[in-house]
Amino acid sequence: MNDILRVENLEVVYNDVVLVLKGLSLACPEGRITALLGANGAGKSTTLKAISGLLQCEDGEVTDGAVVYRGQPIQGLVPEKIVRRGVFQVMEGRRIFEDLTVEENLRCGAFTRPGSEMGDSLALVYDYFPRLKERRRQLAGYMSGGEQQMCAIGRAIMAKPRLLLLDEPSLGLAPLLVEEIFDIIKRFNEKEGVTILLVEQNARAALSVAETAYIMENGRVVMDGTARDLLDNPDVQEFYLGMG
């Protein structure tokens, strides 16, 4: 199977001094869900930002290694160019425009696409998230945390990505809502064939939808394998699934 993305020995430094990624490598097979797990501060969000180019907006820099997307190095490209190639990141903490309606938020996701495709894309998002359709004229800031997360993911779907980077979609959500959102993510992946790299602290939820996963500690991958093998691994059970 083809890897749509390969991250090779990536080193990232913030503010010219703080080394946060220390030779990180991972691969995302096309059409599959890959999870990137690990504790607070391991470097998961930094990895996504290095892929999407958003690192540049935070005084971060790739100092070694490569991000290879569809066979081409993309590290150093500006975020807009990376979006245009089909890579879209949903940031941690939802980051929707609170003063815009739900539908206006969704439309923002399609900024790189022809206006004629807008209607079909909105229909697709509303198919996955009927609740967004019901609330499409409501200001996004008045929606619940779960609905805002749906809006953020819906906005990403509007961009028609080939590779979707999701940063902690479960953050701050009640367990039932986490299940609902992860079911939708899985269905979207299976139906549309979009590759997903999913960053999560909720290892159990992530391993329930991902095919393969990487576990990070302190800027490096310390373990990887199929979701099944990791769920059965006693160390993973003890340290990441709270079963010790």
Q: Where are the beta strands (DSSP E) in the chain?
A: 3-14, 18-29, 33-38, 60-69, 72-73, 87-90, 163-167, 195-200, 212-217, 220-226
The only residue of 7, 34, 37, 38 in contact with ligand ATP, by rule CB under 6 A: 38
Length of the chain: 244
Instruction: Work out whether 56 is an interface residue with ligand ATP (CB under 6 A).
Output: no
User: Strands 3-14 and 18-29, how do they pair?
Assistant: antiparallel
Between 54 and 106, CB nearer to ligand ATP: 54
* 89 DSSP β-pair partners: 165
Instruction: Work out whether 14 is an interface residue with ligand ATP (CB under 6 A).
Output: yes
Where in 188-227 is the site for ligand ATP (CB under 6 A)?
Answer: 201
- How many residues lie near ligand ATP (CB under 6 A)? 15
Contact between residue 164 and residue 5 where contact means Cβ atoms under 8 Å apart: no
The only residue of 4, 33, 44, 231 in contact with ligand ATP, by rule CB under 6 A: 44
In sequence order, what are the residues at sequence separation of 6 or more whose Cβ sits closer than 8 angstroms to the Cβ of residue 117? 110, 160
Between 102 and 206, CB nearer to ligand ATP: 206
The only residue of 34, 46, 52, 149 in contact with ligand ATP, by rule CB under 6 A: 46
The only residue of 4, 42, 62, 152 in contact with ligand ATP, by rule CB under 6 A: 42
State the Cα–Cα distance between residues 59 and 77, nearest whole angstrom. 15
Of 42-50, 61-69, 83-91, 228-236, the segment contacting ligand ATP by CB under 6 A is: 42-50
State the Cα–Cα distance between residues 124 and 113, nearest whole angstrom. 15
Between 103 and 168, CB nearer to ligand ATP: 168
The only residue of 3, 5, 43, 165 in contact with ligand ATP, by rule CB under 6 A: 43
Where in 134-193 is the site for ligand ATP (CB under 6 A)?
Answer: none
Instruction: Report the nearest approach of ligand ATP to the CB of residue 199 (Å).
Output: 6
Where in 67-126 is the site for ligand ATP (CB under 6 A)?
Answer: 92
The secondary structure of 161-197 as a DSSP string is -SEEEEE-TTTT--HHHHHHHHHHHHHHHHHH--EEE
Q: Give me the residues that bind ligand ATP (CB under 6 A), please.
A: 14-15, 18, 20, 38, 40-46, 58, 92, 201
